């Protein structure tokens, strides 16, 4: 059975940013190169070292932990010299220039990947080589496992169902970096679970809700493909504003939300309004056109390709080798 991410060097990600760098502005842009950090944790370490709030640092997307990744970040209230003097293990910052807007989630066109796959069986190698012969591959655009991590989708479901105590319980079970702050808050206000949640960065709380939405989307796509095969259409990511005009997709989603015991309006979270999720649409398929083999050994192969933003390289690898 194939293996991924046996070391950070096996999974290299370079962000394709759409930020316009100029010579002037309130924001300094840096290329962040990191290893063995997810982006949120890296941002927190940088902010702590600069003695600024984490919200002063902007980024376009959360990159993998067990990987070597590059991405553009913006920093407010910290210039080139001060930031480049930082000495942080496995984090490197290179000044790019200045601009008038922060880097925000989604400020990228995609990512470039160089991935080493190890422990390939003979059958897996054959599957991969047969797929690579196609100049254009259409691949199901599932959300990858890293979207869910441990308990993420369950925490997201408890948040939309307003079961904040259960959400906190699962976050604490995850050994979150924010456990000390959560426990300290609850020691002073025993049942103030909403207040306890406010000790967690808003971006991470949103990630929990998005994780549950992603799970529902994957379920919808799997059911649709089982009935219809691969079709290049869009599928709704369920939220409070979801409207569905396709009869079959509506039937599939209605069945799923009934099983989950949820409603579209559950995604309005009045107690934590910043977590409310309107929903959107997502392409069911990815078109892969630039897949290349960089090197090949007996049970190991290194590939390169690029993907649009929001798409998962781990899903591409799974499709090439197994599906």
The residues annotated with a catalytic role in the active site are 64
The three-class DSSP label of residue 63 is coil
CA 67, 10, 290: angle at the middle one, nearest 5? 100
The three-class DSSP label of residue 74 is strand
Is the dihedral angle over the CA atoms 108, 143, 231, 242 positive or is it negative? Answer: negative
Give dist(CA 122, CA 321) in Å, integer. Answer: 11
CA 36, 39, 44: angle at the middle one, nearest 5? 100
Residue the block writes with tokens 């394709």: 16
**Neighbour-count burial for 69-95, b at 16+ CB within 10 Å, e otherwise:** bbbbbbbeebebeebeeeeeeebebeb
| Helices and strands (H, E) in the chain, number of each type | 10, 12
The three-class DSSP label of residue 31 is strand
Q: Are strands 27-35 and 234-237 parallel, antiparallel or unpaired?
A: unpaired
CB < 8 Å & 24+ apart, contacts of 217-226 = 217/143, 217/282, 218/142, 218/143, 219/256, 220/249, 220/252, 220/253, 220/256, 221/140, 221/141, 221/142, 221/284, 222/142, 223/252, 223/255, 223/256, 224/248, 224/249, 224/252, 224/284, 225/140, 225/284
């Amino acid at each position: 059975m194939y293996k991924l991410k046996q070391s950070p060097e096996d999974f290299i990600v370079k962000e394709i940013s759409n930020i316009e760098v100029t010579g002037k502005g309130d924001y300094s842009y840096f290329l962040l190169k990191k290893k063995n950090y997810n982006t949120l944790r890296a941002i927190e370490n940088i902010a702590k070292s600069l003695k600024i709030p984490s919200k002063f640092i902007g980024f376009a997307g959360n990159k993998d932990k067990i990987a070597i990744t590059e991405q553009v970040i913006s920093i407010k209230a910290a210039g080139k010299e001060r930031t480049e003097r930082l000495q942080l293990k496995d984090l490197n910052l290179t000044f790019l220039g200045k601009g008038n807007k922060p880097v925000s989630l989604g400020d990228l066109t995609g990512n470039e990947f160089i991935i080493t796959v190890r422990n390939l069986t003979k059958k897996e190698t054959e599957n991969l080589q047969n797929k690579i012969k196609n100049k254009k591959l259409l691949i199901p655009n599932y959300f990858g496992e890293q979207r869910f991590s441990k308990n993420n989708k369950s925490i997201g479901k408890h948040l939309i169902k307003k079961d904040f105590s259960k959400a906190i319980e699962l976050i604490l079970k995850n050994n979150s970096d924010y456990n000390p702050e959560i426990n300290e808050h609850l020691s002073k206000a025993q049942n103030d679970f909403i207040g306890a949640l406010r000790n967690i960065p808003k971006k991470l709380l949103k990630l929990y809700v998005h994780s549950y939405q992603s799970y529902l989307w994957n379920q919808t796509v799997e059911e649709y493909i089982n009935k219809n095969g691969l079709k290049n259409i869009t599928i709704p990511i369920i939220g409070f504003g979801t409207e569905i005009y396709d009869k079959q997709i509506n039937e599939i989603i209605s069945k799923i939300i009934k099983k989950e015991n949820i409603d579209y309006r559950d995604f309005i979270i009045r107690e934590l309004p910043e977590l409310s999720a309107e929903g959107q649409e997502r392409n069911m398929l990815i078109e892969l056109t630039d897949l290349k083999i960089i090197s090949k050994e007996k049970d190991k192969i290194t590939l390169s390709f690029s993907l649009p933003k929001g798409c998962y390289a781990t899903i591409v690898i799974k499709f090439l080798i197994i599906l």
